[in-house]
Amino acid sequence: MKFKIIIAVAVLFTLQATAQLNTFRGTGFEIKYPTSFKAHGAPGTLEMSLESVFFSSPDNLVEFYIFSPQTSGVANDILVRSNEKQSQVELQKGGSSLIKYWTISAKDDSYERTYQETVDVNSGDNWIIGLKYKNQAAFAKYRNDYLAFKKSYRKTGTNPSTSISNNTMDAKFFFEELAEDAAGISKTVVYIEYNNKKIKLDTIYGSATTIEKSNYDVRKIPKTALEACGAWYGGGGTYFYMIQKGTKLQIFKAYADEEAPQSNWEKIKEL
């Protein structure tokens, strides 16, 4: 397991980065990064509304990463890809925080990326910081800059223009269970009731039900999700959750199989 960048806090205070720094302000957080680095997030998104950002070095040897939702969320832009392999997640508990460490490596050994996620065990709020590097020489070259980047992160007051409204959206799932077909297979039509409209979402196998919030962790559903549902049938399952992002309602979908891990959550609709 390669966690060379995870070092004692005392060492953080003894190391100084040599680069001049810019301050990046996202939605409810700020962080400092070297002026020579290029910051980039979702295309066409204003800086103050970003929850996750990448910072690339001028020689493209390393890339810093921060994910800091206003409360909690899933960092879909750093999930393991088909050409990569992931280490086991290591856990460390300290006070009210649970810290997770993991590494993702290219199968051809062309790069490695390592992450640290901090989760508030009481509220479920989380944030992730990470580093991608081509080789050990690149890691050594930018090590101090990364440690300064990591140390500079802080939560800030939410931006009224981008924060989630205090008035939670009135949206919920409901279901229409279909009669079994000639083969004895049951299906359910999943709908969303939103803004006084009935919106058909999908037809799935099995009998769909809502998921209790106490079971969200099992399905990797954000604690801030408005509602979640799903059905298990014939060794597989289909699941959905809806979440409020600013003035938008987003719906995500994932699959599970008894012989394979649950798929990554994919956004399938935005209202």
What is the structure's pLDDT at 49? 67
Exposed (0-12), middle (13-18) or buried (19+): which is 271, by Cβ within 10 Å? middle
Dist. CA 248–CA 271, nearest whole Å: 6
What is the structure's pLDDT at 127? 93
| Nearest C-alpha neighbor of 127 from the set 47, 76, 69 | 69
| Nearest C-alpha neighbor of 42 from the set 147, 145, 162, 146 | 162
Name the phi and psi angles at 15, rounded to 5: -100, 140
Using 50 as the pLDDT threshold, list the residues of the chain that sit under it: 1-18, 44-45, 158-167
User: Token pair 């209790």 is at which residue?
Assistant: 212
What is the structure's pLDDT at 152? 93
- Both structure tokens of 229: 């549902």
Exposed (0-12), middle (13-18) or buried (19+): which is 70, by Cβ within 10 Å? buried
Amino acid 267 reads: K
Q: Give the global pTM.
A: 0.55
Residues in contact with 215: Cβ distance below 8 Å, sequence separation at least 6, in sequence order: none
Structural domains of the chain ordered from first start:
9-155 (3.40.1000), 171-270 (no CATH)
Other beta carbons within 10 angstroms of residue 76's beta carbon come to: 13
SS (H, E, C) the chain: CCCCCCCCHHHHCCCCCCCCEEEEECCCEEEEEECCCEEECCCCCCHHHCCEEEEECCCCCEEEEEECCCCCCCCHHHCCCCCEEECCCEEEEECCEEEEEEEEEECCCCCEEEEEEEEECCCCCEEEEEEEECCHHHHHHHHHHHHHHHHHCEECCCCCCCCCCCCCCCEEEEEEECCCCCCCCCEEEEEEEECCEEEEEEEEECCCEECCHHHCHHHCCCCCCCEEEEEEECCEEEEEEEEEECCEEEEEEEEEECCECCCCCEEEEEC
